[in-house]
Amino acid sequence: MSNHSAGVYRRRRVFILVFGLLLLIIAVSLCLLLTRGDDQQLDAQVADIQPEPATQAEVTPNTPQVEVTPNTPQDSAAKIGDPTAGALTPQTATEPFTRDGVIVVNKKHPLPESYNPGENPEAVAALKKLIQSGKAAGLDLIDSWSGFRSYTYQSTLFNNYSASSGVTAAETYSARPGYSEHQTGLAFDLKDSTQNLYRIDDPTYKFDTDWVAQHCSDFGFILRYRDEWQSETGYVGEPWHLRYLGVELAKKVATSGKTLEAYLGVEGGDYRR
Ligand SMILES: [Zn+2]
């Protein structure tokens, strides 16, 4: 091997070594880049995945809460359109039906036969004030009323009405026992000086202009039954029948122009047949 050849050989070896090293560095760099890319991809995947369970964890418990929150825990489940409404009877019901903490009694929602709270003292105090103010405004009202009725008393009343006018007719103005709002102790029928129900035989009566209808919410009451509401309340109009809700809620319901059923989103109307 000549010196020249040896020199060329050495340079070639150096070149191969350098070239090899370069290749190695490039290969290692490529490997590192690819690995990092995978990590980033993984990171990206984890980032994609992680928010999902987090979102689900937030959404899942919230969805039922949205429906539950407006109702107090003791509220009955049945809502408008609920096929179970009216399935309970005074004999099978164990507690009053409530919505937003408000007891609702109608032909779909009876009270338990044993529910016997008596007249609500707060409601009676408010009723006395209403009567006093009504009299001062010139109304023919007296300081007596038909308030709380027990299951047994409503039984007698309904049987008497049914005997005199037939069950079908009686059901339009008198409740079956267990289905009367009077059993709550929060409903009152106003009377006039002839001991008749307030304006029962008055052909000039109009809900829109009557003092009681206009002012009862100031004392915490609503007029529960109007003729045009019969499909929702289950009864023909009763100018004398008041339901105590407290001033705040009574004003809200009165202002809404809705029945108590529609305001609270509760099934009403006729008995379940
Ligand atoms: Zn009544």
Residue ranges covered by each domain of the chain: 3-65, 73-264
Say if pTM beats, i.e. exceeds, 0.75: no
Higher pLDDT, 76 or 105: 105
Distance 168 CA to ligand 1 centre (A): 18
Residue 165: pLDDT above 80?
Answer: yes
Which residues lie below 8 Å from residue 225, measured CB to CB, with a gap of 6+?
Answer: 233, 235, 236, 237, 238, 241
Please give the backbone phi and psi of residue 241, each rounded to the nearest 5 degrees, phi first.
Answer: -90, 115
CA distance 102 to 250: 11
Distance 19 CA to ligand 1 centre (A): 105
The secondary structure element, H or E, covering residue 92 is none
- Reported as a pLDDT band with limits 50, 70 and 90, residue 151 is very high
Distance 188 CA to ligand 1 centre (A): 6
- Reported as a pLDDT band with limits 50, 70 and 90, residue 223 is very high
pLDDT number for residue 13: 65
The secondary structure element, H or E, covering residue 213 is helix 211-215
Distance 185 CA to ligand 1 centre (A): 11
Distance 197 CA to ligand 1 centre (A): 9
* Mean of per-residue pLDDT scores for the chain: 81
Within 13 Å of residue 230, how many CA atoms lie on the same side as its CB?
9
DSSP code for 146:
E
Contact 108, 268 (CB under 8 A): yes
**Angle subtended at Cα 150 by Cα 149 and Cα 155, rounded to the nearest 5 degrees:** 95
Distance 163 CA to ligand 1 centre (A): 19
pLDDT number for residue 139: 97
Distance 233 CA to ligand 1 centre (A): 13
pLDDT digits (tens, 9 = 90+) for 79-92: 676 777 888 999 99
Distance 238 CA to ligand 1 centre (A): 8
Distance 23 CA to ligand 1 centre (A): 99
Residue owning tokens 């059901």? 171
Distance 187 CA to ligand 1 centre (A): 6
Residue 27: pLDDT above 90?
Answer: no
Distance 77 CA to ligand 1 centre (A): 27
Say whether domain 73-264 belongs to CATH 3.40.50.300: no
DSSP code for 69:
T
pLDDT number for residue 8: 54
- Give the three-class secondary structure for 7: helix
pLDDT number for residue 84: 78
CA distance 91 to 209: 41
Distance 151 CA to ligand 1 centre (A): 14
Among 68, 71, 158, CA closest to 107 = 158
Q: Distances from the Cα of 25 to the Cαs of 31, 38, 177, 220, in angstroms?
A: 10, 20, 95, 88
pLDDT digits (tens, 9 = 90+) for 131-147: 999 999 999 999 999 99
Residue 15: pLDDT above 90?
Answer: no
Higher pLDDT, 23 or 130: 130
Distance 240 CA to ligand 1 centre (A): 7
Which amino acid, residue 127?
Answer: L
Residue 262: pLDDT above 90?
Answer: yes
Distance 180 CA to ligand 1 centre (A): 8
Residue owning tokens 């307030």? 198
